[in-house]
């Protein structure tokens, strides 16, 4: 189990801006990692109402379950590592691991494991690397049945200086800021449309 604070700034990108920035940073196909996120909530949307998010993420060689909960600055990420086999078992039963730190954290939000069900999924092809001001991620996300979008995320250690660094990065890359909802919200909109 790990816990960390996530402070990130993001913008949606056009397809042409995405390709241009991938070229700018010399991103090659072998540095892109594909990940599939499966999102959970209750029927009454308790997590969404609490501004929290819960996912199981499948990566090429392992999986993880992560609960993101709001704090004064950024989000607290509570993560448990899983094997791919364990994750697939949990996805089949539409559950997450019991008796661990995520279940305890969910209890503070008045959410029982038995209330959870799968609400959406998406697959992201991500290029992620460190730049001078933080951790940069360039994402191309695919939503069933046939939609996709592009996003730039900058994860930083400090919200105030990070915001200024993000604005400067967009200026350097000649990108116009376009607000980006979180991936859970975007995936739900794609499912409902």
Q: What is the CATH number of the domain that holds 6?
A: 2.40.320.10
- pLDDT of res. 45: 93
What residues make up the domain containing 177?
2-192
Per-residue pLDDT of the chain (193 residues; tens, 9 = 90+): 688 888 899 999 999 999 999 999 999 999 999 999 999 999 999 999 999 999 999 999 999 999 999 888 888 999 999 999 999 999 999 999 999 999 999 999 999 999 999 999 999 999 999 999 999 999 999 987 778 899 999 999 999 899 999 999 999 999 999 998 888 888 776 555 4
pTM: 0.90
Which whole-number Å values give the CA distances from 117 to 30, 35, 46, 58, in the listed order?
34, 20, 12, 17
Dist CA 97 CA 133 (whole Å) = 35
Number of domains within the chain = 1
- pLDDT of res. 188: 73
Question: Please, is 28 exposed, middle or buried when counting C-beta atoms within 10 Å of its C-beta (0-12, 13-18, 19+)?
Answer: exposed
Dist CA 102 CA 105 (whole Å) = 5
- pLDDT of res. 41: 95
Question: Please, is 100 exposed, middle or buried when counting C-beta atoms within 10 Å of its C-beta (0-12, 13-18, 19+)?
Answer: middle
């Amino acid at each position: 189990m790990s816990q960390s604070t996530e402070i990130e700034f993001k913008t949606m990108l056009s397809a042409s801006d995405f390709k241009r920035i991938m070229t700018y940073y010399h991103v090659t196909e072998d540095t892109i990692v594909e990940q599939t996120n499966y999102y959970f909530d209750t029927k009454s949307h308790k997590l969404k109402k609490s501004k929290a998010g819960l996912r199981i993420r499948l990566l090429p060689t392992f999986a993880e379950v992560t609960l993101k909960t709001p704090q004064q600055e950024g989000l607290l990420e509570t993560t448990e590592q899983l094997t791919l086999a364990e994750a697939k078992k949990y996805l089949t039963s539409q559950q997450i691991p019991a008796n661990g730190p995520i279940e305890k954290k969910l209890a503070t939000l008045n959410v029982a494991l038995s209330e959870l069900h799968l609400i959406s999924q998406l697959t992201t092809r991500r290029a992620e690397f460190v730049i001078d001001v933080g951790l940069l991620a360039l994402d191309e996300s695919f939503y069933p049945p046939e939609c996709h979008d592009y996003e730039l995320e900058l994860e930083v250690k400090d919200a105030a200086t990070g915001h200024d660094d993000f604005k400067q990065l967009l200026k350097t890359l000649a990108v116009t800021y376009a607000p980006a909802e979180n991936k859970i919200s975007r995936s739900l909109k794609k499912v409902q449309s």
